[in-house]
Copies of this chain bind each other. A is one copy, B any other.
Amino acid sequence: MALTVLKSSRGDRTVTKPPGIDPKRTLTLRDVSEASGVSEMTVSRVLRNRGDVSPSTRERVLEAARVLGYVPNKIAGGLASQRVNLVGVIIPSLSNMVFPEVMTGISEVLENTGLQPVVGVTNYSPEREETVLYEMLSWRPSGIIIAGLEHTQPARAMMAQAGIPIVEIMDIDGQPMDSAVGISHYRAGRQMAEAIVASGYRKIAFLGTQMAGDFRARKRLQGMEEALRRAGLDLVDREFYSGGSALLKGREMTAAILARNPDVDFLYYSNDMIGAGGLLYCRDTGIDVPGKVGLAGFNGLELLDGLPVRLATMDACRMEVGRRAAQIIAGRNASPDLGPEVVELFPTLQPGDTIRQR
C-alpha cells in the first residue's frame, strides 16, 4: 500500500482538511495534532479522556478530530498499550436461540466496562473450536468466555498459556480450567425425571439431538436415566435427529415414537423447540396433552408462552449466565489479583400443564 508522508508546514494550521493528503491513507493522530496545533500526546489524552487537559485545548482537539472525521487506530493503540478491550465469546451456534440470549446478558454487563464482546461460532465442532480460539487469542483479548467444559488438549493448553481470565459457561459438571458459570445439566435431567415420575408417569421416552458435540444434552439424558433407574424404571424408547427445522423434526420424531410405543405416557425432549413440534403434532392428531401424554422440554424459551399448552421445561438461566460470566471478566480485568470463581446457577423447573409440582 502506497503511503504519502505529509511534511508538516509549521505555518498554517487550518481546521479544514489540508489539501494534499492522500485520500487513500487513513487519518492519524498526527493529522489531528497538526490540524489542532496540539501535540500528539495531548490529542491522544483528549481522545481517551485520560489525564487532565485544559478545557480549551480539549475543545480544539475535539473539533479538529470531528471535522477531519478521525477514527482512532486501535491496532496501534493496542500494541502500544499492551491491552485490548476485547472479550472473546466462543459458542457452538447462533441459531440455537439460547446463545443469543447469553450474548444479551454479556453485552448488557460489558456495555459499561469499556470491554467489547467478539463472537466466534464453533458449530459444535471441537476442531473448529480450537481454530476459533486460536484466532481469538491472536488478538490478545482481555478475556475469553467459552461454552462448555470439554475442549481439545491444544485448546486447553492455549487457554492456560494465554494469561487472561477464562470463563467456561453453561455447564459445571466437570473441572473448570479457571472460572465457570452454569448449571448442572446432569442434575437438571435428574430433577426433571424425578418430577415426571412423581407425577405418576411411567412409560417415558427421550427425543433429542444427534450432535456428538452437545455434551450438555447428553448430560441431561444421563441424569434422567440415572433418576429413572433409581425409581426402577427405564427409558421406553429414544429418538435422535440432526439438522432441519426443529419444529418439524419434533413432529416427526414424536410420530415415530408414538407409532412404535402406543402406550408411552411421557415425552422428554432435549430442547423446547422440538418439544413444541411434538406438542403441535399431538394437538393435530388429537392426542390429549397432558391427558394421554405429558411433555417436557428444556431451556424455558419465551416461545413457549405462545403455545396452546405449556410444556414442562427448565430455565437454563441463559441471560444470567451471560451476565455473571461478563462480570467475572470485567472484575478480573479491573483487579487482576482476583482469583478464579465458579458460580453454580440453579434452574427452576417450570411444570407447565403436564407436571404436578410436589
Point out residues on A near B: beta carbons under 8 Å.
Answer: 1-8, 10-11, 13, 15, 17, 23-27, 69, 71-76, 78-79, 82-84, 94-95, 97, 100-101, 103-104, 107, 116, 118-119, 121, 134-135, 137-140, 157-158, 160-163, 176, 178-179, 244-251, 276-277, 280, 283-284, 302-308, 317, 320, 339-346, 348
A198 nearest CB across to chain B (Å): 21
Q: Is the CB of B163 within 8 A of A346?
A: no
A250 nearest CB across to chain B (Å): 7
From the candidates B7, B283, B342, name the one contacting A8 in the complex (CB within 8 A). Answer: B342
From the candidates B100, B139, B161, name the one contacting A95 in the complex (CB within 8 A). Answer: B100
- With A79-B79, A305-B245, A306-B277 already in contact, the answer to whether A8 and B345 are too (CB < 8 A) is no
Q: Is the CB of B344 within 8 A of A6?
A: yes
A350 nearest CB across to chain B (Å): 13
25 contacts between A and B (CB under 8 A): A1-B346, A3-B345, A4-B346, A5-B341, A6-B344, A7-B342, A8-B176, A8-B340, A13-B178, A23-B163, A26-B161, A26-B162, A71-B137, A71-B158, A71-B161, A71-B162, A72-B138, A74-B138, A75-B140, A107-B121, A246-B303, A247-B306, A248-B305, A248-B306, A276-B306
Q: Is the CB of A75 within 8 A of B71?
A: no
- With A7-B339, A94-B94 already in contact, the answer to whether A138 and B71 are too (CB < 8 A) is yes
Q: Which residues of B contact A158 (CB under 8 A)?
A: 69, 71
A143 nearest CB across to chain B (Å): 14
Q: Is the CB of A341 within 8 A of B1?
A: no
Q: Which residues of B contact A5 (CB under 8 A)?
A: 341-343
Q: Which residues of B contact A339 (CB under 8 A)?
A: 7-8, 11
- With A251-B306, A303-B245 already in contact, the answer to whether A160 and B343 are too (CB < 8 A) is no
